[in-house]
Structure 1
Amino acid sequence: MNKPKEGDFNPQWGRYINAVQEGDLVQLLKDQEQDLLSLYSSFSEEQSFYRYDEGKWSLKEVLGHIIDTERIMSYRLLCAARGDKTPLPRHQDIFVNGTSFDRRPLAELIAEFCAVRTASITLVQGLNGEELRRAGVINNAATTAVALAYFIIGHALHHLNVVREKYLMPH
């Protein structure tokens, strides 16, 4: 499936979608899962509490945000692929503040990410080209299922890049 074009998604998502290389969606999801597992498995429990600045998320909170966003976007992908035109609102970043990811063991969060990613992979694997091209309405913009899949990858990629750039320093 080709990478979505402008007009297939809300322009605000361009930075996430455009950051992803074109390729087989399932393989991109699987490769990124391995990348995230490799990175997060390198952190100790103590390191997972690290914040690079006051008011910034801990490494656990970054992972929790990736998990929550993927869950939400996978649901939206399902809605679009099945032809549901019910307008869905913008998703807020309130979820990190609505729980305490830091109270949970890092290994548990990593396992949860794997479960959510497996669900996303099996969802995308089960869709055909017509279903991936269907659009739903997200934040007042027509958004195709394939754009939502690319968003999932691009959003996680963005946060993994932030982790590599801002969190991987001597601490």
Structure 2
Amino acid sequence: MHKILGKDEYAPYYQSYVELVSEEDFDNLLEEGIDKTSNLVSNIAEEQGMLRYADNKWTIKELLGHMADTERIMAHRLLSVVRGDAVSLPGFDEGNYVQAASFNEQSINDLLQNLQAVRRSTIHLVKSIDADSMLKSGTANNSNVTARAIIVIILGHEQHHCNILRERYLSTV
């Protein structure tokens, strides 16, 4: 069992993200996370943005766009859960989202600014949630999820992709 979350608070396919987060100081972790991501990405040259570490893998630009899209969707889920919306929230196909976007035509700086803006919005939302509402749950992608689990998933998703960026993209440059 995870230190913060019970297994019934999130779907099993989020386990690898959840395992990357070991504390519950969400405000601080969200701030630190975007700072670390920004520092990592700000050192990437524009021409490196089109790098793929293997065939059929996303470019660095697509990875950054995916990170922002996913956080936007997760923040919407978080808002819905804490506001008590009983609707079952849909899943999304990340591959289709990336394919439908024009991330490769954007600059790394623009993609980073977008990700930073999304994170600032997420931080404001998280700061507005009281302790009782953190335990509220809803349904997303046909699975039960609590508000605090969504925040942990946002944090773990970012860490996961920054690890991939460091290990698979930037280690080859």
TM (normalized to structure 2)? 0.95
How far apart are 1:23 and its partner, in Å? 2.9
How far apart are 1:88 and its partner, in Å? 1.2
1:102-123 residue CA offsets vs partner (Å, 9 max, x unmatched): 1011111111111000000000
Residue 130 of structure 2 corresponds to: 128
User: How many corresponding residue pairs?
Assistant: 170
The within-5 A match list for 1:4-153 is: 4-93=5-94, 94-153=96-155
Aligned amino acid, residue 40 of structure 2: L
Whole-angstrom distance in 1 between the partners of 2:98 and 2:172: 25
Calculate the aligned-residue CA RMSD, in Å.
1.1
Partner SS, residue 144 of structure 2: strand
**Structure whose residues are more often helix by fraction:** 2
Residue 166 of structure 1 corresponds to: 168
Aligned amino acid, residue 116 of structure 1: V
Deviates more, 1:44-53 or 1:73-82: 44-53
Aligned amino acid, residue 108 of structure 1: D
Deviates more, 1:31-40 or 1:12-21: 12-21
Taking only the aligned residue pairs, the percentage that are identical comes to 36
**Stretches of structure 2 lacking an aligned partner (at least 5 in a row):** none
Aligned amino acid, residue 46 of structure 2: E
Whole-angstrom distance in 2 between the partners of 1:163 and 1:68: 17
Whole-angstrom distance in 2 between the partners of 1:89 and 1:18: 24
Aligned amino acid, residue 30 of structure 2: L
How far apart are 1:170 and its partner, in Å? 4.0
Whole-angstrom distance in 2 between the partners of 1:24 and 1:83: 23
TM (normalized to structure 1)? 0.96
Aligned amino acid, residue 74 of structure 2: M
Aligned amino acid, residue 65 of structure 1: H
How far apart are 1:3 and its partner, in Å? 2.1
Runs of 4+ residues deviating >2 angstroms:
none
Aligned amino acid, residue 134 of structure 2: L
Aligned amino acid, residue 105 of structure 1: S
**Stretches of structure 1 lacking an aligned partner (at least 5 in a row):** none
1:14-46 residue CA offsets vs partner (Å, 9 max, x unmatched): 111121121300100000000100000000111
